[in-house]
Amino acid sequence: MVSVVLSACGTVPPTPVRQKNDPVVDLSSKVQSLQRQLRERDKRIAELESQLEALKLIDQDYERQKKPLQTPATQTPIQ
């Protein structure tokens, strides 16, 4: 019985062999992904800059229209 226990202890289960991906391929796909993200980010920045410029123009128009409606303090009202 002791020999059975010893022989069972002597067998080591085989370790699973992992397939390693090629590091160059992994890096290449990561680089491509990051480049795509940069392009998307740059496109979004351009869209936001365009929207900001449009909002600035709207604000300028609003300020120009608002000023003539205000009566200066030096003007006397018509009686």
Q: Above 50 in pLDDT, residue 14?
A: yes
Asked, for residue 6, whether it belongs to a domain, the answer is no
* CB environment 22-51: b (16+ within 10 A), e (fewer): eeeeeeeeeeeeeeeeeeeeeeeeeeeeee
* Residue 1, pLDDT score: 47
Asked, for residue 29, whether it belongs to a domain, the answer is yes
Q: Above 80 in pLDDT, residue 5?
A: no
Asked, for residue 37, whether it belongs to a domain, the answer is yes
Number of domains in the chain: 1
Asked, for residue 42, whether it belongs to a domain, the answer is yes
Asked, for residue 8, whether it belongs to a domain, the answer is no
Look up the domain containing 45 and give its range: 21-67
pLDDT tens digits for range 18-74: 566 678 889 999 999 999 999 999 999 999 999 999 999 999 999 999 876 556 666
> How far is 47 from 40, CA to CA, in rounded Å?
11
Asked, for residue 50, whether it belongs to a domain, the answer is yes
Asked, for residue 11, whether it belongs to a domain, the answer is no
